A and B are shown apart, each in its own frame.
Chain A
Amino acid sequence: MRFPMTTILGFSRRDLTGYLFLGPWLIGFIVFTLGPVLASLYLSFTRFDLLTAPRWIGIDNYVRMFTGDYRFWQALKVTFTYLLFEVPLKLAFALLIATLLDKAVRGGGFYRALFYIPSLLGGSVAIAVLWRQLFEGNGTVNQILHGLFGIQGPSWISNPNTAVYTLVILAIWQFGSPMIIFLAGLRQIPTDLYEAASMDGASKFRQFRRITLPLLAPVIFFNMVLQVIEGFKAFTPAFIISGGTGGPVDSTLFYTLFLYQEAFAYFRMGYAAALAWVLLLIIGGFTALSFLTSKYWVHYEDER
């Protein structure tokens, strides 16, 4: 052994110092993250109503979820509908604005900050309350529709056919963070490519399709994965707008909201823990799928 004097329990003193500095974080991680995660895995195999001790019931929670609970499927349906519209539209919108801002417009920094503001506010309770007032029966949106076109619009948030789309719009409105990432990506594309393309007479649209999109693919991919994960975790808007019910008629019953109801409204902690684990598996599955298919459409510059 090279450092017999300084080795304690197999750690060198240098390592120990490192762990010592890491300690506070590590303790926090074990106590507040890893511990609860493992506890929830255990609880997902129990029946637990908070007031009495958990009782082991094996895989019953999981069996019930897939065979005996239509609200589970409804929650999945709502969440996937939301993702299907929210992710592509938000990314398209973010890319559009980023492309416009990428041109050296005067006051570009100002507009960048301006467009980012909704992302800072959007997840808050206040904005969800505002959204409710915009899209209700006699809300602002309908007043504008009535004033401009004489159309009497429905109550968008209280109609099961339209409620989830008001939440999609709320999410798209928060396009700030993918926009910033797109902007950074756009700046990385060498300008000589565009110059060469214009020399050859390629139209702007063709340049966008043939140069911007392929070179931006890794950034699009990154944004997509991030947005899908965010989308699965969406909670606040649906909670506030539906008053915590996921209504009308379960049309805004996001998976997270369903989980919350099972846990904190009906005190089925065991079932809710099982739901959380299934959500984790779904998100993990989606991310894995994205990475597996990415090699067919994402090209990194250092690859040949």
Chain B
Amino acid sequence: MSSTTRRALVAGSAVAAIAAALGVDRRAYAQAGTRLRAFWWGNPDRDKRTRAALDAYKAKAGTDISAEALGWGDYWTKLGTQTAGGNAPDLIQMDYRYLFEYARRDTLLPLDKMSPKPLDLGTFADAARDCGKVDGKLYGVTLGTNSKAMVYDTAMFEKVGVKALDPNWTWDDFARIAGEISKIKPAKYWGSGDNSRWEQGFEHYLNQRGKWLYTPEGKAAFTRDDVTAWFDLWDKLRKSGAVAPAEIGASNTGAIDQYEISRGTAAMSFANSNQIVAFQGISKSKLAISVFPNEKGAASGHYIKPAMMMSVSAKSKAPEEAARIINFLVNEPDGVKALGIERGVPPSSIAQGLLTADLDDLGKLQLNYVSAVTKVAVALPPPPPKGAGEIEKLLQRVADSVAFGRASVKDGAAQFFTEVESILARA
């Protein structure tokens, strides 16, 4: 190579490197229109659907939207960092758990003035709209509603003679069915995953007893005895062999493919109704969903949750356009059909009308489930306070140490309760 061409090559690649370093994107020149960023937590199926919906919007309005998706845990880390750095994405997928924190720090845009144009929320039932409100102002628009659900393997249930699961089933029924399934492949496959470590499971147990996890003031709304009863329930189930042992439970990281039912170690896992789509995507056998087991005559404990909301960053340079995109996702046929029912049952009547016509089996299963649960649902609990995320992890640790026999049920409950109070006091 002669020295001239080498110099040209070096210079050329240096320019390219500088351009890359400065984030110069050729598409930015080509497209003079608005460019927005959308960010959500998801799974491969959700990501595909959401990108398709955003592409459909681009085809319609010409707006370029750069999309990014992460898993639940990493999502909040990155969103927190970006928000602090003043470059939050325009469209933010928001959870009920964090809505209040973000809204009260003025990082989200109130959307009241955007309705009915460009964002029409007249199609929403009042409850579905109001769950996105903080201190009277609207900060989040629900994309779908769900409720907690027990996901189970129908083939395994049939093997032990359960053709149709009674929606009024009790914890005793649960212990019996799980125990029988555990006998099919002893020490390899169990009736159910261990649910003692799942914060939402504990919350549900409290809801069944007419209590909440947190008070509206952000204090613990349960007692030490509630925790003891919860740990004791699962301790007995573990010892009887009905639910998987500690080692299996401790390896569930909370990603869909790490649940017992996905890894082929148990016939039941506790999750949320919209996740049936993702679970079925992994499982070879036919899955179904049911309400959680209960005490006879007690409240169902289920509530209808705004599963995923869309919020707009307070720093967005194109808030109107962002609101228009949300409207596209909840009200317009192309957006609604692309998203489908993966995020839960869509709240707008237009979307429901569009989807019910051509729902697949999983969609129908979900829709029927949510409408059945709606009839017995308890009220939406107050939003979790700051520090709730830490308490979620704390429960995993303490429940695991009880499961591994490192702490007694009583000591574990005492430890959990004491630490919850200190975390909430510190937050």
21 examples of A-B residue contacts, CB within 8 angstroms: A50-B80, A50-B84, A51-B80, A51-B107, A137-B247, A137-B248, A152-B187, A154-B247, A159-B247, A159-B404, A242-B253, A243-B253, A243-B255, A245-B253, A245-B393, A247-B397, A248-B246, A248-B247, A248-B404, A249-B250, A265-B77
What residues of chain B lie closer than 8 Å to A264, measured between beta carbons? 77, 80-81
Q: Say whether A50 contacts B81, CB under 8 Å.
A: yes
Given A245-B253, A247-B400, A248-B404, 20 more contacts at CB 8 Å?
A50-B81, A51-B80, A52-B105, A136-B251, A137-B247, A154-B247, A155-B248, A155-B251, A159-B247, A159-B250, A160-B404, A243-B255, A245-B393, A248-B247, A249-B397, A249-B400, A250-B397, A265-B76, A265-B390, A266-B387
A267 at the interface (CB under 8 A from B): yes
**Quick one: CB contact mask for A14-35 with B, threshold 8 Å, 1 for yes?**
0000000000000000000000
| CB <8 Å contact, A247 and B389 | no
Please, how many angstroms separate the alpha-carbon atoms of A159 and B404 in the complex? 8
The tally of residues in B whose CB lies under 8 Å from a CB in A reads: 32
- List B residues 398-415 near A (Cβ within 8 Å): 400-401, 404, 406
Q: Which of A260-297 contact B (CB under 8 A)?
A: 261, 264-267
In the complex, what residues of A have CB within 8 A of residue B374's CB? none
- Measured in the bound complex, the distance between the Cα atoms of B244 and A155 in whole Å is 13
Instruction: Mark out the residues of chain B between 8 and 51 whose CB falls within 8 Å of any chain A CB in the assembled complex.
Output: none
Bound Cα distance from A279 to B422, whole angstroms: 25
B116 within 8 A of A: no
A51 x B105 contact (CB < 8 A): yes
Task: Answer whether residue A166 sits at the interface, using C-beta atoms and an 8 A cutoff.
Answer: no
Q: Verify if A244 is at the interface (C-beta below 8 Å from B).
A: yes
B residues adjacent to A (C-beta < 8 A): 73, 76-77, 80-81, 83-84, 101-102, 105, 107, 187, 246-248, 250-251, 253-255, 258, 265, 387, 389-390, 393, 396-397, 400-401, 404, 406
A249 to B400, CA, bound (A): 6
Instruction: Specify which of B83, B101, B102, B248 is in contact with A158 (CB 8 Å cutoff).
Output: B248
Residues of B contacting A91 with CB < 8 Å? none
Instruction: Give Cα A247–Cα B406 distance, bound, in whole angstroms.
Output: 14
B389 & A266 in contact (Cβ 8 Å cutoff): yes
* Complexed CA–CA distance, A50 and B396 (Å): 26
Chain A contact residues, CB within 8 Å of chain B: 50-52, 136-137, 152, 154-155, 157-160, 242-245, 247-250, 261, 264-267
Which 7 A-B pairs rank lowest in CB-CB distance, beginning with the nearest?
A243-B253, A50-B84, A248-B250, A158-B251, A155-B247, A264-B77, A158-B247
Complex-state Cα separation, A156 to B134, whole angstroms = 46
Q: A50-B80, A267-B80 are in contact. Are A245 and B396 (CB under 8 A)?
A: yes
Q: Which secondary structure characterizes the binding site on chain A?
A: loop
Question: In the assembly, what is the distance between CA of A238 and CA of B101, in Å?
Answer: 30
Known: A154-B247, A264-B77. A51 touches B84 (CB 8 A): yes
CB-nearest residue of chain B to A163: B250
> Which of A50, A157, A261 has most B Cβ within 10 Å?
A50
Residues of B within 8 A of A152 (CB): 187
Residue of B nearest to A264 (CB): B77
Closest to A155 in B: B247
Expressed in whole angstroms, the minimum distance between the Cβ of A254 and any Cβ of chain B is 15
For the complex, give the distance between the alpha carbons of A94 and B401 in Å. 37
Q: Bound complex: CA of A136 vs CA of B257, how far in Å?
A: 15
A245-B253, A248-B404, A249-B400 known; A50+B248 contact, CB < 8 A: no
CA distance A157 to B258 in the complex (A): 14
Look across to chain B and name the residue whose beta carbon is closest to the beta carbon of A64. Answer: B426
Instruction: For B73, list chain A residues within 8 Å (CB).
Output: 243-244, 265
In the bound complex, CA of A261 to CA of B73 (Å): 11
> What residue in chain B is nearest A74 (Cβ atoms)?
B397
CA separation between A74 and B254, bound complex, in Å? 23
Chain A residues lying within 8 Å of B265, measured Cβ to Cβ, are 137
- Whether B401 pairs with A249 at a CB distance below 8 angstroms is yes
In chain B, what residue has the closest Cβ to A244? Answer: B73
Q: Which residue of A lies closest to B386 (CB)?
A: A49
Once bound together, how far apart are the Cα atoms of A125 and B385, in whole Å? 34
- Across-interface contacts of B404 in A (CB, < 8 A): 159-160, 248-249
Query: Could you tell me if A266 and B251 are in contact, using CB atoms closer than 8 angstroms?
Result: no
A51, B389: Cα distance in complex, Å: 16
Complex CA–CA separation, A242 to B253 (angstroms): 8
